[in-house]
Structure 1
Amino acid sequence: MAINLDKHAEPALERRGRRPALRIGRFGPAAILAGLCLLAITLVAVLAAWLAPHDPIQMNPSNRLKPASDAFLLGTDAYGRDLLSRILYGARISLTVGIGAAVVSVAIGLPLGLASGFFRVLDGILMRVMDGLMAIPSVLLAIAVVSLTGASLWTVLVAITIPEIPRVVRLVRAVVLSAREEPYVEAAIAVGSSLPKIMWRHLMPNTMAPLIVQGTYICASAILTESILSFLGAGIGTETPSWGNIMSEGRAYFQLKPSLIFWPGLLLSVCILSINLLGDAARDMLDPRLKQRGGPR
């Protein structure tokens, strides 16, 4: 009998010993490289005032469309402004909009989603409002908000955040509807725990993992939306350098100088891809089902 137990125990111990390797394997070279790229972009955004070799908004017509040189490492744009300096400062706008939209949408959507999933009376009202917001294309809604209130960083941030709130609310609501049927929640209700305690101690922790993943998606989506709005001329004013503005101004000179679009477009793609890869890695780490299995077989 002992031999049989040992035979059954040995594979279990082997699987248990392989679990750390499997978890580490989930953070492969792609996720590590994405983290390093995002860290570099963040440092560039924070240190732009010290890294930029020139004033990003100072025009000098005598230097317009200069090629790359020692004085201008990436050349200049149609107004004689240093392209490298404008790209460095543009990282600030992108990260500010992305992080701001993610934080604000989660801060507003989390309590609304908890209330919608737990209180059936509020569920119908809140969901109809959220469905109405989701029925409007996010880019069109952002353009309408910016057109009515004027172009500025905070206006663009609000315009991008509004369409993201319903997605957070629906996600939290789905998690709460599933978690409220669990035995530990029913036991908390049976012993007379207060509603705030049930929601914030028993229900909200279940939403953290999917919210973190959703937050990374919102951050990447907000950065892309801001670039689209700026490219269309409905975003941040042209006096403020952003990757979308740089590409919008450079499209008229694309055949003459493709670098005006290539470099900001490359950094925009790298930034969004890095955030998405880190979001996938966070999902794999925070998913309790994957933790119980020790990773995929």
Structure 2
Amino acid sequence: MADSTPLRAALRLPTAKLAGLGLGFAPLIAAIVLLLIVLAAVFAPYIVPHDPIAQNPVLRLKPPSADFPLGTDAYGRDLLSRVVYGARISLTIGIGVTVMAVVLGLFIGLVSGFFRTADAIVMRIMDGLMAMPSVLLAIAIVSLFGASIWTVMAAITIPEIPRVVRLVRSIVLSAREEPYVEAALSLGTSMPRILWRHLMPNTFAPLTVQATYVCASAILTEAILSFLGAGVSTETPTWGNIMAEARIYFQLKPSLILWPGLALSLCILSINLLGDAARDILDPRMGKREG
């Protein structure tokens, strides 16, 4: 039966194309939202209307206007400018933590999964790290070494490494029993070459998906640390710092928390949706079930 309206007919072709790629409208919208956040963070100095740290007590708690689209905070700073600049810190920490956790977790997981003697020691260390609450561990590290972007990144990375290690280890444990690995061993292939050429490629697809979840978790943890006062310097505009400063004005002006909280939620939701889409595409078992 033909479509009853031209709109349905117009939507059929794009929808079919997205379905053929294993994508739906949600991942597409998530990709657009995340791209806008990234572009806003990269070009923040050129698009924000005001200096995000310049204080002007005369303009404190102003309502939205043409000059201040989201209003001002308790120190007279433009809220829109601070929210946009906050994206820079969150994405920097999220990407930095992801790169460090994946690289270190990949190396440790390969060694642990292939060498049985090292596996027992390494996994007990990883189990110990996973037993500690990640936020409390991060607060302890920041308290010991001081608050800075690099310290916060290191503090968030350490709890994320065991999750990557366990994923890589599980893949290597099953792959090392494959005939092609046994053939390489019997031919005298060096251990580094086996790990690099034969085992590591098996981890690419799962690590790609895991990296999206690590990035989202890192951004959320950074916001929690900043909200608790254990993140980067309070003078630095981050989504967590903005919400922390605004909590005492919540009843007077809830929008001070609403806008950075909305930006944080949209960023994390977009990354998670893209991670789910990547899992559906890269996991062949998922594709068979959907087929």
Q: TM-score, normalised by structure 1?
A: 0.90
Matches within 5 A, 1:21-36: 24=20, 26-36=22-32
- Residue of structure 2 equivalent to 1:275: 271
In 2 relative to 1, CA 209–143 (structure 1 residues): closer, same or farther, beyond 3 Å?
same
- Counterpart check, 1:195 vs 2:191: yes
Tell me the distance in 1 between the aligned counterparts of 2:26 and 2:84: 24
Query: Residues 58-111 of structure 1, C-alpha deviation per residue, up to 9 Å, x if partnerless?
Result: 111110000000111100000000000000100000100111000001111111
The residue identity in structure 2 corresponding to 1:67 is: P
Secondary structure, in 3 states, of the residue corresponding to 1:69?
coil
User: Deviation of residue 135 (structure 1)?
Assistant: 1.1
Query: Residues 237-270 of structure 1, C-alpha deviation per residue, up to 9 Å, x if partnerless?
Result: 1110000001111111111111101011011000
Tell me the distance in 2 between the aligned counterparts of 1:290 and 1:70: 49
Tell me the distance in 1 between the aligned counterparts of 2:275 and 2:20: 16
User: Deviation of residue 288 (structure 1)?
Assistant: 3.2
The residue identity in structure 1 corresponding to 2:72 is: T
In 2 relative to 1, CA 121–28 (structure 1 residues): closer, same or farther, beyond 3 Å?
same
Query: Residues 203-243 of structure 1, C-alpha deviation per residue, up to 9 Å, x if partnerless?
Result: 10111111111110000000000000111111111110000
User: Deviation of residue 129 (structure 1)?
Assistant: 1.0
Within the candidate set 24, 34, 37, 2:33 is matched to 37
The residue identity in structure 1 corresponding to 2:218 is: A
**Residues matched between the structures, number:** 276
- Residue of structure 2 equivalent to 1:163: 159
Tell me the distance in 1 between the aligned counterparts of 2:271 and 2:260: 17
The residue identity in structure 1 corresponding to 2:209 is: V
- Residue of structure 2 equivalent to 1:213: 209
Tell me the distance in 1 between the aligned counterparts of 2:192 and 2:142: 37
Tell me the distance in 2 between the aligned counterparts of 1:24 and 1:143: 45
Tell me the distance in 2 between the aligned counterparts of 1:130 and 1:234: 24
User: Deviation of residue 191 (structure 1)?
Assistant: 2.1
Within the candidate set 112, 121, 126, 2:117 is matched to 121
- Counterpart check, 1:68 vs 2:77: no
Secondary structure, in 3 states, of the residue corresponding to 2:83?
helix
- Residue of structure 1 equivalent to 2:45: 49
Tell me the distance in 1 between the aligned counterparts of 2:37 and 2:205: 25
Higher deviation after alignment, 204-213 or 282-291 = 282-291
- Residue of structure 2 equivalent to 1:148: 144
Tell me the distance in 2 between the aligned counterparts of 1:157 and 1:22: 36
Query: Aligned Cα RMSD in Å?
Result: 1.4
- Residue of structure 2 equivalent to 1:11: none
Tell me the distance in 1 between the aligned counterparts of 2:88 and 2:249: 25
Within the candidate set 169, 174, 187, 1:173 is matched to 169
- Residue of structure 1 equivalent to 2:127: 131
User: Deviation of residue 273 (structure 1)?
Assistant: 0.5
User: Deviation of residue 24 (structure 1)?
Assistant: 2.4
Kept in 1, the 8 Å contact 2:114–2:172? The answer is yes
Unaligned runs of 5+ in 1: 1-19
- Residue of structure 1 equivalent to 2:256: 260
- Residue of structure 1 equivalent to 2:90: 94
User: Deviation of residue 290 (structure 1)?
Assistant: 4.1
In 2 relative to 1, CA 78–208 (structure 1 residues): closer, same or farther, beyond 3 Å?
same
Secondary structure, in 3 states, of the residue corresponding to 2:274?
helix
User: Deviation of residue 281 (structure 1)?
Assistant: 1.0
The residue identity in structure 2 corresponding to 1:184 is: Y
- Counterpart check, 1:227 vs 2:219: no
User: Deviation of residue 46 (structure 1)?
Assistant: 0.1
Query: Residues 142-173 of structure 1, C-alpha deviation per residue, up to 9 Å, x if partnerless?
Result: 00011111111111111000100111111100
In 2 relative to 1, CA 211–120 (structure 1 residues): closer, same or farther, beyond 3 Å?
same
Tell me the distance in 2 between the aligned counterparts of 1:152 and 1:21: 46
